[in-house]
Chains A and B, each alone.
Chain A
Amino acid sequence: MDYLISGFIGAFKLLLSGDAETYSAVITTIAISSLSIVLSLIAGIPFGFLLGYFNFAGKRQVRAVVDTLLALPTVVVGLLVYAFISRRGPLGELGLLFTILGVALAQTILITPIVVSLTATAVESLDKRLGMTLATLGARGGQLAIATILEARYAVLIAAVTAYGRAISEVGISMMIGGNIKWHTRTITTAIALETGKGEFSMGIALGIILLSLALIANSLLIGLKRRN
């Protein structure tokens, strides 16, 4: 139980004293998760729209695959991506292993299914007459898609929040692809794993509290966004 109390105190100490190692991990975490969330939204929203809006043969099967991918274990994504970006892998030349970009790309694979699935659900649950109304008003193609997604924006926002939460909290990919290199690819979660491995449980709790604070700030920003709209 002591861990919890000293963890709380430790979190404040780390933040207030400007501990360089902690801040480096915080910045790395923000960099990786921001990059992966932006990439996954760019890839996931259009695909989610198509999947939710149109009816086509095999739609249910595609949906089943996407929903299954929600259960992707992080370590498996890590291993798959490692196989490709290791020096002996097909993309080895790019030198992505043990880099922030490499971790972000692997996380994108992890969280894009979340964006796709939740966006598709959001679009599906819109009033069926919306499409017809928009068409009557003269909306075509891209216009129609943008208007539909705008109509579903809060649900898409939830998709983004959920995906961000998954990205910021995962440890398997960050450990496997990032390597937990101090000052470079050490994120808050890999630091927690390291501290726990060292038996520094209260330090682990302190970092956990910092991670949650970060998630709180990100969510507050998004909620603020929702209000003002």
Chain B
Amino acid sequence: MKKTMRVLSVCIMALILAMPMASSAEVLRMATTTSTDNTGLLDYLAPTFKAQTGIELQWVSVGTGKALELGKNCDVDVLLVHAPSAEIKYVTEGYGVDRTQVMFNDFVFIGPKTDPAGIKGMSASEALKTIGMKKGLFASRADKSGTHVAESGLWKTAGLAVPDKEQWYIQTGQGMLNTINIAAERNAYTFTDRGTFIKYEANWKGNPPLVILVEGDKLLRNQYSVILVNPKRCSNVKNELANKFRVWMALPSTQKEIAAFTLMGKQLFIPNAHEK
């Protein structure tokens, strides 16, 4: 028994040591999407934010759908998400306030180099119509993430229903990079944000099996915004800190820093807080 007690006390010691150091910094909790986290943007911005405001930014990175849900349940103070249509509805319904656009990047259609359906260089709508007509394999996130919301919107803009039950429409329900990998394995097309694609390209040392086929269409803009969780619904949220973050993200100096963030030498996000 003595030995057991000793092991137990070692465990408990480890536990006490492991308790996060009580830091004097104020903590702001944010729910954001996988793209801002996986690309390393937040790791890059958070130290500057702390140095300039003294606020420690903690974030959970989930799909935009779940991020909005965490805000609805008052579990986070602020959101950084990218699904404008869902966001506007969210604010109208009173869950969020002070939506501020801060930056964008763009979506692209990628697919096998052989381009079996022949969509290279088309507009977004033409590309989807062609894929639908030729029943080209297409991998979709299907997880209510910002990317998935954007993709669903594009089917509608093209005048088509989301091909939910079609054999050629592969609904992965997984993150962007996993979905790209699935598309590559199945020789399928998919729809991704450029940042994740650059990361994917880098993983393949610049020679990936899937390449960009459709880009530059206005419809492909991927807008990121900061939304504060409504303090009237959620009395516990740190609205003041959240607002400081919102203002800070739109500052010219921060916007410059966002523009300077690169991955594999390529700029990932284009700041646009000044745009109306």
Contact = CB atoms under 8 A, between A and B. Distances in A.
Interface of A: 27-28, 30-31, 34-35, 37-38, 86-89, 92, 97-98, 100, 179-184, 194, 196-200, 221-222, 225, 228-229
Contacts of A87: 73-75, 234, 236
A225 B4 contact: yes
Nearest to A33: B11
Contacts of A183: 20
B53 interface: no
A199 B34 CA distance: 13
B201 to A, nearest CB: 10
B100 interface: no
Given A92-B74, A194-B38, 13 more contacts: A28-B18, A30-B11, A30-B18, A31-B19, A35-B15, A38-B8, A87-B74, A100-B18, A100-B20, A181-B60, A184-B58, A199-B200, A199-B203
Contacts of B14: 27, 30-31, 34
B104 interface: no
B247 interface: no
Contacts of A98: 29, 58, 60, 75
B18 A31 contact: yes
Nearest to B37: A194
Given A27-B17, A34-B12, A87-B75, A181 B58 contact: yes
B178 interface: yes
B199 A38 contact: no
A37 B19 CA distance: 17
Contacts of A200: 203
Interface of B: 3-4, 7-8, 11-12, 14-15, 17-20, 29, 34, 37-38, 43, 58-61, 73-75, 175, 177-178, 181, 199-200, 203, 234, 236
B56 to A, nearest CB: 9
9 contacts: A31-B18, A87-B236, A92-B74, A92-B236, A98-B60, A100-B19, A194-B38, A196-B178, A229-B3
Counting from the closest, the 3 A-B pairs by CB-CB distance are: A31-B18, A179-B60, A87-B74
A86 B229 CA distance: 15
A225 B3 contact: yes
Contact of B38 (A86, A89, A100, A198): A198
A199 B177 contact: yes
Contacts of A89: 73
A133 to B, nearest CB: 21
B18 A27 contact: yes
A97 B38 CA distance: 23
A144 B104 CA distance: 69
A225 to B, nearest CB: 5
B18 A225 contact: no
Contacts of B181: 199
Contacts of A194: 37-38
A181 B12 CA distance: 23
A197 B177 contact: yes
A38 B11 contact: yes
A199 B17 contact: no
B20 A88 contact: no
A172 to B, nearest CB: 13
B15 A34 contact: yes
A54 to B, nearest CB: 25
Contacts of B4: 225
Contacts of A38: 8, 11-12
Contacts of B175: 197
Nearest to B7: A221
Contacts of A179: 60
A194 B199 CA distance: 14
Nearest to B3: A225
Contact of B75 (A35, A86, A182, A196): A86
Contacts of B60: 98, 179-181
Contacts of A30: 11, 14-15, 18
Contact of A198 (B20, B29, B177): B177
Nearest to B229: A87
A193 B104 CA distance: 26
Contacts of A228: 3
